[in-house]
Amino acid sequence: MTKVMARLESGVIVNLIQTSNGTKQTDTLLDIPEGQQASIGGDIVNGVFYSAQPHPSWTRGETEWLPPVPKPESADGWDEDAQAWIILPEPPPGDVWDEEAGDWVEVTEDTVE
């Protein structure tokens, strides 16, 4: 059975390593517990692995990074400058995205290829 370990330098994750059960933890090579996520650039605080901070305004929660504004279900992304969630409008029914126009266009005989 394999496991994933994190190699740390100065407290920051610099590498993720898939190992066999025989690999021992050290001060700079730690097991990542099942259910926790770690990524390069992340770190470990009080035994909890954190991915790299996604945005400067986000703060640590007990197990994950938290945005300054709770995420609505319909959010498509985070705008750090505006400190707000991005919610893209739904396309009109039957429309398709026109890359050249950069907009939704109504499907007609001319737009169907």
Query: What are the tens digits of pLDDT across the range 71-99?
Result: 999 888 999 999 999 988 777 788 887 77
The residue assigned the tokens 């990524």 is: 39
Confidence at residue 72, expressed as pLDDT on a 0 to 100 scale? 94
Three-state secondary structure call for residue 85: strand
For the chain, percent of residues with pLDDT exceeding 90: 39
Which of 41, 4, 32 minimizes the C-alpha distance to 19?
4
pLDDT band per the 50, 70, 90 thresholds, residue 14: very high
| Residue 82 CB coordination number (10 Å) | 8
Q: Say if pTM beats, i.e. exceeds, 0.75.
A: no
User: pLDDT tens across 50-69, in order?
Assistant: 999 999 999 999 888 999 99
DSSP collapsed to 3 states, 63-82: CCEECCCCCCCCCCEEECCC
